[in-house]
Amino acid sequence: MLLPNVRQSFKFYANVCLGGLALLSASVHAAPENDAGEVTFLLGKAYINGSTPVAVGSKIGSGDVIQTLGNGHVHIRFVDNGLVSVRPESRLAIEHYEYNTAHPNESVIKFSLDEGVMRSISGEGAKAARDKFRLNTPIAAIGVRGTDFVVKSSNDLLQAVVNEGAIIVAPYSNDCQAASVGPCHSNFVELDSDAQQLLEFSSLYSAPRLLPLSAGVPSVEIDSSKIQSRPARKSSTDSDESNQDDLLPNTDDSSKDNRLVNDSNADSFINTTYPTIDEPASLDSNKLVWGRYSGPKTTDRVVYTYNEAKEGRADPISSHSSISDLVLFRSPSERNRIDGSLGNVSFNLLSSQATLNNNGQLSVASVASTSRLDIDFTDREFVTEVTVISSIAPKITVSGSGAISDDGFFNFVSSDTAIHGASSMEGDVSSFMFYKDVNVDTSVEGVTYWHAE
């Protein structure tokens, strides 16, 4: 269930494209100039422009296409210290890479990921000229805000996760042409690193979706003794250079086991099992919706205002007023009780939010996709265990069990935990809020939406 909130990092907009971006497209089709960057790491086989084998030291420029085979993995360092990692079975075109050393804000950078997976860390060009950076995929265009991000792309699917900064993703339209440069500002979605979730565009769905990460995207730590020595390059800050080196492991054959330590972490979402259940495209179609009496908090991502959640729904259930001002609304149903013949149903986590409160300081956390909810509609019992991940606290487990009423409401309260929620009358979706006192200074609160397997 995707519940967009314009006050949070995951936003929908319906504006016009920035004027002048189309004028830049004429410069994108320049002839190849092999001075934009060079290959600094190679594993397996890859080719430039379909025929030239990639080697460490190969020059890369505008017009070149990098194609990796099933065992191929390539790192490219560009002249502005931008970094790109191209994973196996990928095809990345360097449509244009023009870095203006004297005036970085006049740089123009454009990639096209036709298929496969890439990681990009912005260099000085992309940082200074965000309005002229573009990564095209077959179904959407991506712009950046000074970013480290990973993208998986195919003809009908785009998945992206942000390690640092933010990306702007928009489907192609009359206001978002593939030939243009820079981010599109019509019907776009912005995802930043605080979201700790995966953004998915698919030709199968009418709207983009947020999916939970099993543990967010872990920070990457590298033993500096294992990084290959290279001539020093001029950069804006030493910290920028050290962060960018995360894509450049030792190429010594004796340390193959350490070669992919960075990308295996940064790209871990690719190998994670995520829910594939379709999420309702509009608020009107959601059977269960949480609202907040006091209006949305800055950390809300899947919670509406009270009036928005209430519209067209009935059967509210309030959480405990002393710990939360959330209220759950459920769409009306022709049923007056849940069918016990549904038996024991396991639910997949569909979307969620979590907030860590540490001495009054709120920070965004994430709910692991390994969290579980099981409801036995025959015996009218439920059991759940939610794992909350935060960059500033150890893993937190919130669990509870108890009875579910004939009309689908369930609750669990202990000395440090509260869980309040409901199932749809059809038993196909469920949702609950949770709260836990971790210690005297720390608590966690969240909302989860679930879909039956």
Give the span between the Cα atoms of 374 and 350, in whole angstroms: 14
* Cβ neighbours around 306 below 10 Å, total: 19
pLDDT at 229: 29
Give the span between the Cα atoms of 196 and 364, in whole angstroms: 8
Residues with Cβ within 8 Å of 451's Cβ and at least 6 positions away in sequence, in order, are: 1, 275, 277, 347, 348, 350, 428, 429
Give the span between the Cα atoms of 188 and 191, in whole angstroms: 10
pLDDT per residue as tens digits for the range 42-96: 888 999 999 999 999 999 999 999 999 988 889 999 999 999 999 999 999 999 9
* CA proximity to 424, closest of 285, 282, 231: 285
* CA proximity to 108, closest of 143, 141, 77, 133: 133
| Secondary structure class of 195 (helix, strand, coil) | helix
Output b/e per residue, 46-62; b: 16+ Cβ within 10 A.
Answer: bbbeeeeebeeebebbb
Topology of domain 283-452, CATH: Porin (2.40.160)
| Secondary structure class of 92 (helix, strand, coil) | strand
Confidence of residue 313 (pLDDT cuts 50, 70, 90): confident
pLDDT at 212: 66
Mean of pLDDT over the chain: 76
Give the span between the Cα atoms of 66 and 116, in whole angstroms: 11
Give the span between the Cα atoms of 405 and 123, in whole angstroms: 57
pLDDT per residue as tens digits for the range 186-229: 888 888 887 778 888 887 777 788 776 643 333 322 222 222 32
- Identity of residue 121: I
Give the span between the Cα atoms of 436 and 323, in whole angstroms: 9
pLDDT per residue as tens digits for the range 257-300: 322 223 333 333 333 333 322 333 345 568 899 988 877 777 78
- 301 pLDDT more than 50: yes
Give the span between the Cα atoms of 137 and 112, in whole angstroms: 6
Q: Is 346 exposed, middle or buried (0-12, 13-18, 19+ CB in 10 A)?
A: exposed
pLDDT at 234: 35
| Secondary structure class of 149 (helix, strand, coil) | strand
* CA proximity to 121, closest of 146, 153, 95: 146
pLDDT at 343: 93
- The answer to whether 11-219+263-271 and 283-452 have equal CATH topology is no
pLDDT at 322: 54
Let me know: does 288 contact 433? Beta carbons within 8 Å.
no
Give the span between the Cα atoms of 29 and 376, in whole angstroms: 60
In the chain, where are the structural domains located? Answer: 11-219+263-271, 283-452
pLDDT at 10: 38
* Cβ neighbours around 29 below 10 Å, total: 12
Q: Kindly report the CATH number that applies to the domain delimited by 11-219+263-271.
A: 2.60.120.1440
Q: What share of the chain is helix, strand, coil (3-state, %, to 5)?
A: 15, 45, 40
Give the span between the Cα atoms of 430 and 423, in whole angstroms: 4
pLDDT per residue as tens digits for the range 136-150: 999 999 999 878 899
